[in-house]
Amino acid sequence: MPDPLLSVHDFSIVYDVDPPVEAVKNVTLELQRGEILGLAGESGCGKTTLAYGLQRLLRAPAVITSGSVTFHDASGVDIDVNALDIEEMRRFRWDKISMVFQGAMNALNPVTTIGAQLDDVFQVHRPDLNRRERRAACEELLELVAVGRERIRSYPHELSGGMRQRVMIAMALALRPQLMVMDEPTTALDVLVQREILRQISQLRHEFGFSVIFITHDLPLLLEISDRIAVMRNGEIIELAPARELWEQPQHEYTKTLLASFPRLTGERGVLVR
């Protein structure tokens, strides 16, 4: 039976400029508990704006103009995300929903150790933990993402791009959220490191049971990792289907164009679709 974690209904976001820009238009979707939902589309289609809107991370001139976002907590309580006040929203983020931001591997503070930056999360959200307990939790996180606890004293510049990205994933996992939103988490990483990161995300998902919204313009990558894929264009979700079904029987012409735009490694030479 379906076990929804997040329900989004008729959700719209407008950039209040002259003239106004409709960035997200009447999006409706349901994310299942433990599911990886891929969100695909070309740059500028509204993927990141939608992700920020779901967590109320938008800044002016972006405005949520309609719709509802309901988080079905594991405790059995349904949380109206749009109704939370500032303090409630602060506690909700990272604890229930966490995010790996676009370009996250360069988002670490360059003059602060990895351990100190992980420790900040526990100091703010788990103030009951003492220093020794926080240290043990930070080391456990680094082991979990295959960075190694010995790196707790390292600075970001002493880590490779892939290791910095793993640290950001560790930070997002720190409070064991039920949903992780990942915005282009493998951008700027080489293919081998990308595959290692994807494999680790899948393993961690199976181990802890969290759901993932995985945002990228790389549709073949989503076909590999996702349970279902939502294709977004001009602020709207134009197709939503299981990954295999989307690959074998795409319904929308834009989805077909996206799939056709990636060159095949085998077979006859074709014409690149733009």
Q: Look up the CATH number of domain 4-260.
A: 3.40.50.300
For 191, the enclosing helix (H) or strand (E) is: helix 191-208
103-159: pLDDT as tens digits: 766 788 999 999 999 999 999 999 999 999 999 999 999 999 989 899 999 999 999
Domain boundaries, the chain: 4-260
**Cβ-count burial 152-185 (b if 16+ within 10 Å, e if not):** bebbbeebeebbbbbbbbbbbbbbebbbbbbbbb
> Comparing C-alpha atoms, which of 207, 184, 223 is closest to residue 48?
184
Percent of the chain with pLDDT over 70: 94
Question: What values do phi and psi take at 229, rounded to 5?
Answer: -130, 135
Residue 68 in contact with residue 8, Cβ under 8 Å? yes
pLDDT tens digits, 57-88: 999 999 999 999 999 999 999 999 999 999 99
